[in-house]
Each structure stands twice: as structure tokens, then as C-alpha cells.
A and B are shown apart, each in its own frame.
Chain A
């Protein structure tokens, strides 16, 4: 292959390297106003009154809006729990909730207006923890609800209680995954403007522009076709850039003022009013046979929703049952309880609940391996599903490279020798993961993707797709696929702007679905364009289409190789001879997935399933508890890497986020208020916190994926936290079951071991 499978720079790398590429916050429209949001300072309160009189008279202020000025439709990203308000009507439910919005000719006027809005609150009792929120007598986080329970997930298979009785070893423990922040470098922002044709135009740096459009049309009471969205590639997303109330507010201000409005979250606002990871308390119990096979699983998860519902229900469901399709578990009882809390609404963050559960089970499996006297890697491989199997929930594993991933990281880390010759203070930790490349449960009515590929008279191609780039490089993958199918150089392929007027409806890039779904769609569309060109060339060559080949920039008849025509000549003739009509290839991919049964949860959820294994080597300073990552190996079953250098980049980026979660990231809150809403006190990994990560590709070449590809985005993060904490245990004997394994926790653990006290930290 000429383009697919090659490490090529992103098609927009040049524009990014020179600063020429415009992000949403760089857009400057004539007469554009600056929008700012007044946010609740209290976690739970009744709004007694709002006085905007003085604010409105600040010179330069074009609008000061409150709930009175906003429509009051029922809406929200979650179908089961549509509980959003554009601006708080009578009650605020989390610090940071939007209470008023201002648009002004300059930021200073907007700030001044905000400071002059007088809001009188009557504070109400708050609850901040999901477990506490579900205890009898807990205060209601929202007065418009009868209970704090947002959503309960439950599925049971086999004979769980009997299976526990039959188990030779049972490990039961509690694992706590804390709330962490995606920390994309570009904060949430939007430009909205009324269009001359009466529509509302919105420039959205989002992963899912069409899904946003659905939700925003409900919120604003406008038909979808009246909202014209342009997705601008985002400065990172990681799950945190789906629907945002900030976008809706920008739209409201634009509609109200008749002018373009730009709203950009400050970093502090983004910390406090973003959509961080769903915090979970995971009570996990697993029964093993003496040979190490998992015989029974029981889990109950308490998860924090925040003050309104974004995508936490899907995250919780995923946490409950996705790993049942990693390891062969036939007897299971999974229960998840999602609770309203008076904290910032939680949502998707790379891993989507699977990362939380992987932390729990990969730690527990480490504990089991020790008790059973088995190798940690062998225990995983023994239990893992293999290619060709259908799992307990009906997931069709078309290929599985997990054993090779485990073998590769162990070999790269010299696992066997290092385990034999232990150096004091050093340790190795291993963890595995599965994931999806698409999630039919998330948006049940629609599966797959569609694309168009237009070939111009010069012989260049343009790809039209509704799948969004947020830095992961999906536009480049699509360009590579189109180039490969059409025999073009990648320089000759453009990807059209993701304009809702132009491109097919797309679900967006989440659930690691981009490469597989968009890749297959573009492959089909480019294939259609190619067929049309071959037919036209056949006409020009006077040959049968079936006998015409396309090779190296030329069309030629197989039985008359001397007669050939240049690709670009064919394109020009095709366009000229058909009155300017371009060649338009259309194609789509409908995966072999179904919407899971609402009760049994049964049904193939993703077209293919990626797998991975991480192995961390750490050194722990016994005096300070400081953990240094000496080495890190990450092997991933990616099916087939369409762009290897970018695949490696995705793995290394996921590892960095996992290391941050493992060791240093924590949204510290008190009374519902984030205490560390900045990069000084919320530490994300810097250059100095990681070694060169050894990322390894395993390519079983899946029969379903485009050129055999699977996804990589989320699995790249999932196993990291457990790998690091398992390594810390190996180095120190300190078992930490609550993230992060901060320096203080590690040191406390070391000290209590030295004193002969209880081991580890975090068991509730």
C-alpha cells in the first residue's frame, strides 16, 4: 500500500506549526461581541431575585440575560434524564452553574456588567458524595426531583451466588476512582452569529457537532435546519467536548443581540464548570478457581452525576459491564447507581467508565495473582476472550491480539529476569484492557458512518464526512484512505470543512469510533468514485470496465497495456463531457452492531474491539514516597495502524494522562468548590514526569476494520493507572486502591508497613 500504513504528517501539521490554523477563540467576526457568564457561587440555593438594572447600563453592554430571557424547553444530552436549563430558573445545583449572561463590545465592559448583577440566593442543604447522596435521609441535591437517584444499571447472568460458593478464592474490595479533568489545552468556547438567512450559525470545537445540533435545537426551540453548525478542529477534547451549555448561551446572546458573540472559558472556569470524569466507588468481588479462572463477579458502583446530567449514565453502564467482554465471565451481577450531587456535572473522559473499572479489576487481578502464586500476565491471558468468540453479552470478538500485547510488554521490560532479581525500591506492574470502536448503546438509533468523495477535473479529491477532528488526526486518516483507494498522493486529497450544510450526518468522534467508522465510510465512498472513473475510462479506452485497471496515475486496459490514459485526463474529460458534473462517490458503513436489549443488555455493541497491555517500571523513594517512572511499555492491538507515527502518538498521549491520574491529578473539593482550578495546583504531567514511552503496535489485521484497523484513543489510557499502582505495590508492598497514588499516600503506606500497621490505603 502506498499511503495507508505509512507514517505521514497530519494534513494540517504545517498550519499548526506556523500558527496559521485558526481555533474557535481565534475567530474574529465584524462587530463581534464578547460574551461572559455569571456563575453560581453556591452549590445549592434557591434564586430569590436577580437584578440586572445596573449591569445593563454599563457602556458597551449589548445584552444582560437571565432565565426570563431564555426559552424553557425540556432538554439535555441524556434522553433518560433531560434536566438542563440554559440559565438557572429558580435554583442552582452546583458551583459554576450558569445564572446570567452578558454580551458587550469588549471584555472589560462584560466583566464590569457581570460584577454589577445582583443575585440574592437562599442557600439549601447540599450533598457532595454519591454514596452519601443515596443513603436514607440525605438532602435532595435538586428540589425538582424526588430522589437523588438519577439512574440505576443492573444486569445479572448465570448463577452468581452458586458460583461464589464454588470458588476457591474470593477477593472482595473497594476501589475509588477520583474525579479528574481532561485538561485539554484549548478551553471550552464558541462563536455564534445570526446569519443573513435567518439561521443561527455556530462555530463549535466539539467532538459531535450533529449531536450538539439536536440538543441545541431542543434547548433554543428552533428546528434543527435553522441551526447551521461549523465544527472547527478542537484543541484537544478527550470526551469533554460534547454538548456544552456555553455553546447554547452564545447562541442565545447572538439571537438576542443580532450580532456575533464569542464566549471563551477562562481556565479556572473550565476547571470548575467543565465536564470532568465520573467519580466512582467500586465495590468489586471476584471468585476464582484455584487454576486462576474467574468464576464469579459481583460489582456495585456508586457514581457521582453532578448537579445535572451529561453522559454519566452511559459512563456508569460501561463501567458495570464492559470488562465482561474482556475476560470470560459467565456468572455476574452488576449494579450501578448514579446519584445527583451538588457538584459540577460529570461526563465522558477517555475511557468512559471502562477506565474506572479497569483500574479496579486490574488491581484486583494483581492481588489474585499474588494469592494464587501465578504470573500476573498469564492470569490475564488465561481469562481473556479470544478472536472468534462471542462474549456473555453477545459481543463478537472478531480478533484479539491481547496475548501478544502481554508478551511484548513483558519481553520489552525484561519482566521475568527483573522479577527474579528484585532491586529494592523498584517494581514492575502490569495491566490489560479491552475497549470498543463505537458504542451502539450511546446513540441507539444510528450505527456507522457515511462519506462522500468528490473528484475534481484536475484529478484531486475532497472528502466529506461528519466525523470531527479534535487533534487525534481523523481528517488525516480519511485523507489517507481516500488517497489509497484512488491511487493519489495525500497532498492531492482535501478534507472538506465539517459544515452541516455540506457533509453527511455524523455521530462524531467518541467511543474510539473514528478510524473504524469514518475509515470504512471513506473507503466505500472512494471506492464508488473509483468505480465511476474506471467506467468512464473504459469508455475512453474502448474497453470493458471489468478489464480496466488503475495504476500509478494511469488507467489502462489489461489486454492492451500500451493504450493508457492519465488519471487527471480522465477526470478532466469526465467533468467537461458531462457539463461540469464532478465525480461524486458515496459510501457508508453499517456495522454489524445492534442496540443492546434494554433489560438483558445483550447485543454486539461495536464493530471491532481493541485490546492492550501496559507495563510500568517504577522506583519509589522510601524517604519521600516519590514515585519515578523509570520505564513504560504499552502494547496495543490496533488491528492495523493506518498512520503508525500518529498511532504511537495516541498511545503516548494516553499513557501520559494515565500517569497523571495515577500519581498526581485530583480535583480537590471542599463544600462543592474546586480548590485547585489551575495548572499550578492541579498537576498534569510535564515533559519531566515521564520517560520516553515504549509504545508497541500489535496488528492482527482485523477482518472487519478498514484495512484491518481498530481504534486506539481510549484503550491507550485505560490500563495505565493500574499498571503504575501495581508497580508501586511491587516496589513497596503498599497497595493503594484509591486514586491518585499521591506522594503522601505512598509515604503513609510505606511508614505504616514499617511500623507493622495496616497495609495500604483507601478501603472504606
Chain B
């Protein structure tokens, strides 16, 4: 019998009570235990940012966080960003500006952009590029994502 531990966690405003192996990663809790597959695994090593989520208000790579570290905490994933039918301005800007191609990096990108704009509401292009350099994209070449983030911040390009 594998060892398990109890876990209380709030994800996207909903409380969950789970029993999990202590070495479960947060990404697996989200994707497998809660069926929230919007968070993607691109590398499993914290290098690509596809698995980005908010944990207690901080942006983290959920592939590097043990679920138990989130015990009693609040997690926000891509599924919790829109309010029902109403998309977040960052999501709308991504859609409008061609910032999405295959879509695999998009959830992580959206959360990373939200985090950036929360800390720096009026970034320069340079600041967007450096601030989001922890999120890899292979399809877009980043140009339209930068445009989308700047537009969402209200800055004129």
C-alpha cells in the first residue's frame, strides 16, 4: 500500500479534500486528480513555463511544486481566469492579436502576462520581453504575444 496524506486545497475558488501520495506534483493534482487539464506539461523541469499557475498569489511552475506545499493554499489555474463567459482582457487581447497558434504554451503565457501586468501595469516592450522570458513558445516567435500584452496593459505601441 502506497503511503498517502490528506490534503485541503482551494482551486479556482472551489475547496477540495483529497488523499494523495506525498510525492504528487501540483501539476498532476490539477490535471489528473481534478481534471483541470488547461495547465500543460512542456518539460517537467521548470524550464518552459507551460505549467504556470498562481499559488497564494505567486506565479509558480506547478511541475516543480509538490502538492503538499500547496496544502491549505489557494491556486488559480487558466480555468479560473475567465469569469464565466467573460474573458479576461489578457485573453481577449491574445485572441485579437494573433498571439495564439498551437495553443500549448497559451495557458502559461496568459497567467504569466497577468502576473507581469499586476506587478508592472505599464511595461515597456523590453520589460515584457524580459519579464516573460520564462515562458517558451515555439510557434509564434513571440512578436504577437508582446503586442497582445502591451495592448492589454493599455500602452500604445
- A-to-B contact residues, CB < 8 Å: 7, 9-10, 12-23, 25-26, 28, 108, 182-187, 233-236, 238, 266-267, 470-473, 645-646, 648-649, 651-657, 678-680, 684-688, 690, 692-693, 695
Interface of B is mostly: loop
Return chain B residues, CB-CB under 8 Å to A470: 102
| Residues A18 and B78 in contact, CB atoms below 8 Å apart | yes
CA–CA, A235 to B50, complex, Å?
12
| Residues B140 and A12 in contact, CB atoms below 8 Å apart | no
| Residues A17 and B110 in contact, CB atoms below 8 Å apart | yes
Return chain A residues, CB-CB under 8 Å to B8: none
- A236 touches which of B91, B102, B110 (Cβ 8 Å): B102
- B101 touches which of A25, A108, A473, A657 (Cβ 8 Å): A473
| Residues A688 and B130 in contact, CB atoms below 8 Å apart | yes
- A684 touches which of B2, B98, B128, B138 (Cβ 8 Å): B138
Q: Would you list which residues of chain B between 132 and 149 have a CB under 8 Å from chain A?
A: 132-146
Measured CB to CB, the closest approach of chain A to B143, in angstroms, equals 4
B129 in the interface (beta carbon within 8 A): yes
Q: Which residue of A lies closest to B28 (CB)?
A: A107
CA–CA, A662 to B30, complex, Å?
38
| Residues A645 and B144 in contact, CB atoms below 8 Å apart | yes
| Residues A14 and B104 in contact, CB atoms below 8 Å apart | no
CA–CA, A713 to B94, complex, Å?
21
Q: Would you list which residues of chain B between 17 and 55 have a CB under 8 Å from chain A?
A: 21, 31-32, 35-45, 47-48, 50
Interface of A is mostly: loop
Report 13 cross-chain contacts, Cβ distance below 8 Å, ordered by A residue: A9-B100, A17-B95, A18-B91, A185-B42, A187-B42, A235-B104, A236-B102, A471-B101, A654-B141, A656-B138, A656-B142, A686-B134, A693-B143
Q: Which residue of B lies closest to A17 (CB)?
A: B91
| Residues A267 and B138 in contact, CB atoms below 8 Å apart | no
Return chain B residues, CB-CB under 8 Å to A21: 103
| Residues B45 and A649 in contact, CB atoms below 8 Å apart | no
B15 in the interface (beta carbon within 8 A): no
Q: Which residue of A lies closest to B102 (CB)?
A: A471
| Residues B142 and A185 in contact, CB atoms below 8 Å apart | no
B77 in the interface (beta carbon within 8 A): yes
| Residues B97 and A645 in contact, CB atoms below 8 Å apart | yes
| Residues B103 and A235 in contact, CB atoms below 8 Å apart | yes
Measured CB to CB, the closest approach of chain B to A61, in angstroms, equals 15
| Residues B130 and A16 in contact, CB atoms below 8 Å apart | no
CA–CA, A648 to B101, complex, Å?
12
| Residues B146 and A185 in contact, CB atoms below 8 Å apart | no
- B-to-A contact residues, CB < 8 Å: 2, 21, 31-32, 35-45, 47-48, 50, 77-79, 81-82, 87, 91, 94-98, 100-107, 110, 125, 128-130, 132-146
Return chain A residues, CB-CB under 8 Å to B91: 17-18
| Residues B41 and A19 in contact, CB atoms below 8 Å apart | no
CA–CA, A234 to B103, complex, Å?
9
Q: What are the 4 tightest A-B residue pairs by CB atom distance, in nearest-first order?
A: A19-B38, A471-B102, A16-B103, A235-B104
| Residues A692 and B101 in contact, CB atoms below 8 Å apart | no
Return chain B residues, CB-CB under 8 Å to A687: 128-130, 132-133, 135, 142, 145-146
- A185 touches which of B48, B78, B87, B110 (Cβ 8 Å): B48
Given contacts A185-B48, A687-B132, A690-B142, contact A17 B100 (CB under 8 A): yes
| Residues A12 and B143 in contact, CB atoms below 8 Å apart | no
CA–CA, A466 to B16, complex, Å?
42
| Residues A19 and B42 in contact, CB atoms below 8 Å apart | no
CA–CA, A646 to B141, complex, Å?
12
Measured CB to CB, the closest approach of chain A to B11, in angstroms, equals 13
Measured CB to CB, the closest approach of chain B to A265, in angstroms, equals 11
- B79 touches which of A12, A18, A654, A678 (Cβ 8 Å): A18
Return chain A residues, CB-CB under 8 Å to B77: 19
| Residues A186 and B104 in contact, CB atoms below 8 Å apart | yes
CA–CA, A729 to B137, complex, Å?
29
